[in-house]
Amino acid sequence: ALASLHSGHLGINKTMLRAKQTYYWINIDNDIQNFIKNCMICQENRPAKQKEPLLPHEIAEYPFQKISLDIMTFKNLDYLVVIDSYSKWIEMFTLKSKKCSEIITKLKSIFFVMGVPLEAFSDNSPFLSQEIKNFAKEYGIRWKTSSPLFPSSNGQAEKAVSVCKDILKKADKLKIDFKELLMEYRATPIPSLNATPSEILMGRLIRTKIPISKANIKPITNLGQFHSNIKRKLNANKISDKKYHDRKTSKESDVFVPGEHVLLRDNNRWTSAQIQNKTDYPRSYFVEKTDGSVVRRNSQFIKHTSIPFQNSVLYSRNNNDNYDELFENKIKQKYDNRNRTAYNNLIIETASPNIHEASSSNHYDSIDLDEELPLNNETFIPLIDESVSSFNDNNHTTIVRSPSSGSSNASLYSADSNPRSPSMSPIRTPLDHDYMKTTRCGRMVVKPKRYK
């Protein structure tokens, strides 16, 4: 009934309304909800998850304590963008390549002038390389990375990239060096702080082409009070930004535990996944996908589900081998303590004269593995190896078990070899028992009862 109600794969409310016209039973609403929540077709096509509350970064206490950096591309040229989280001072360099050695060289040119920061925040590639890790360890930098596909967690760098792209576009239009426009940015007050990046960083306003009085470029006398006001305004901006962002978000972020079955947002679709572990960063988890790969994702791309997770790689491997395991287990039970023949030898031994000898090139069509073998004779069928997988000169041999006729010497097995032309269509013989068949991979598997 639930399957028929949900045949159109509509939502919970519409399915409930549909059920009122056709069916009714106790707890029908709960049953419909649980059924739809476990429908993978409906779940994977659901819209993206609602935004979670903003989690602001801690405010820096002094200039170049924390930096954010990113790599951008403009007109086939790569640029390294670095912004100071406290003063909003921006550095931009043209990169010859995205190699780590080139990035480290540009960063050193900043650190030798401004000093080495305590923390650096970036996206993953190429900042997860071992060369970058060794560089950060050498200079004592705590290097943090954002979750993949979640650039908003590195908002400072994204804002700096936006400013730099705007500068490059205007410089390209004016046919001037972009550093000239970047200098003007550093000398322009930030509206929310009412101070320029140069004043916050250097304690004075830098001089540019624009005429300015000497009094305005003198150093700030009371730097302590000046920086106290900057910190207060930064905190006020942090609170107002969070309040504005959280207007249309969920009340709280989801928390996941290792081993939990979840849905993962991948390529704009929800897929089954499993939580492996939590990372050292907030709202960031290692998630195992159905193909066996493990990725790092923000909780924005993960949500709870009751759909069980199944690793498709393990399932495919087990599904391909289950017939082989069934065959081997049955043979082991029936022919325990028996010697197996060589790969290319198939011998049928019996005391009855009616048993024919079959060569290793003959093919097993049907063997009854469910019947008990008599304990008073030595008749057995050895294991068929992968090499036994073809017909021999169009001779088709069928080996079947014959019922006991009361005499211990009665024929137990019979082998019948019938010539058959390759052009002839195969004869469909009804089989009332399991039979063995060679797969395309050369494996001998047991197939259930059916027409051959």
Give yes or no: residues 139 and 177 share one domain.
yes
**In the chain, how many domains are there?**
3
Tell me, what's the pLDDT at 332? 46
* Residues pairing with 81 in the sheet: 70, 92
CB neighbourhood size of 334 (10 A): 15
Extract the tokens encoding 452: 């051959």
Give yes or no: residues 96 and 11 share one domain.
no
What angle in degrees, to the nearest 10, is found between the helix axes of 28-37 and 12-22? 140
Tell me, what's the pLDDT at 297? 92
| Largest CA-CA distance found in the chain, in angstroms, rounded | 124
DSSP 332-352: HHHTTTPPPPPTT----B-SS
Give yes or no: residues 331 and 427 share one domain.
yes
H or E element that contains 111: helix 100-114
Give yes or no: residues 191 and 151 share one domain.
yes
What confidence category does residue 358 fall into, taking pLDDT thresholds of 50, 70 and 90?
very low
> 24: alpha, beta or left, given left = phi > 0 and alpha = psi -120 to 50?
beta
Say if CB 99 and CB 88 are below 8 A apart: no
Domain presence at residue 252:
no
Spatial CB neighbours of 187, under 8 Å, sequence gap ≥ 6 = 196, 198, 205, 206, 207, 208, 210
Domain presence at residue 296:
no
Domain presence at residue 286:
no
| pLDDT surpasses 60 at 393 | no
Tell me, what's the pLDDT at 124? 86
Give yes or no: residues 24 and 125 share one domain.
no
Give yes or no: residues 213 and 70 share one domain.
yes
| pLDDT surpasses 90 at 4 | no
Rg (CA), the chain: 37
Tell me, what's the pLDDT at 6? 77
Give yes or no: residues 25 and 155 share one domain.
no
What confidence category does residue 313 fall into, taking pLDDT thresholds of 50, 70 and 90?
low
Last residue of a domain, one of 218, 240, 265: 218
Say if CB 64 and CB 31 are below 8 A apart: no
Domain presence at residue 332:
yes
User: Distance between CA 116 and CA 84 in Å, rounded?
Assistant: 12
What confidence category does residue 183 fall into, taking pLDDT thresholds of 50, 70 and 90?
very high
Extract the tokens encoding 113: 């002038």
Distances (CA, A) of 39 to 17, 42, 261, 291: 18, 6, 14, 20
Q: What's the average model confidence in pLDDT over 251-259?
A: 87
- Give 30: exposed, middle or buried? Use CB within 10 Å, 0-12, 13-18, 19+: exposed
Give percent above pLDDT 90 in the chain: 43
Spatial CB neighbours of 123, under 8 Å, sequence gap ≥ 6 = 70, 145, 146, 148, 151, 154, 157
Tell me, what's the pLDDT at 201? 95
Domain presence at residue 197:
yes
Last residue of a domain, one of 218, 249, 284: 218
CATH of the domain at 86: 3.30.420.10
Tell me, what's the pLDDT at 412? 39
Q: What's the average model confidence in pLDDT over 74-99?
A: 95
Instruction: Convert the pLDDT of each residue in 257-288 to its tens digit.
Output: 999 999 999 888 899 999 999 998 899 999 99
Domain presence at residue 184:
yes
Instruction: Convert the pLDDT of each residue in 38-49 to its tens digit.
Output: 888 888 778 888
Domain presence at residue 336:
yes
Give yes or no: residues 79 and 179 share one domain.
yes
Long-range contacts of 263-269 (CB under 8 A, 24+ apart): 263/43, 263/44, 263/302, 263/303, 263/304, 263/305, 263/307, 264/289, 264/297, 264/301, 264/302, 265/48, 265/49, 265/297, 265/300, 265/301, 265/302, 266/301, 268/48, 269/44, 269/45
Note if the pTM is more than 0.85. Answer: no
Extract the tokens encoding 83: 């912004």
Tell me, what's the pLDDT at 177? 95
Tell me, what's the pLDDT at 314? 55
Better pLDDT: 9 or 288: 288
Better pLDDT: 330 or 80: 80
> 211: alpha, beta or left, given left = phi > 0 and alpha = psi -120 to 50?
beta
User: Distance between CA 244 and CA 290 in Å, rounded?
Assistant: 37
Q: What's the average model confidence in pLDDT over 305-313?
A: 78
Where would I find the beta strands (DSSP E) of 85-129? 90-95, 119-122
Tell me, what's the pLDDT at 387? 38
The 3-state DSSP class for residue 115 equals coil
User: Distance between CA 123 and CA 151 in Å, rounded?
Assistant: 7
Give yes or no: residues 330 and 191 share one domain.
no
Is the alpha carbon torsion for 23, 28, 31, 37 positive or negative? positive
Give yes or no: residues 89 and 30 share one domain.
no
The 3-state DSSP class for residue 68 equals strand
Label the pairing between strands 294-298 and 66-74.
unpaired
Domain presence at residue 233:
no
Q: What's the average model confidence in pLDDT over 229-236?
A: 95
Last residue of a domain, one of 218, 242, 266: 218
- Domain hosting residue 437, numbered range: 311-452
Give yes or no: residues 193 and 337 share one domain.
no
Say if CB 307 and CB 272 are below 8 A apart: yes
Give yes or no: residues 16 and 102 share one domain.
no
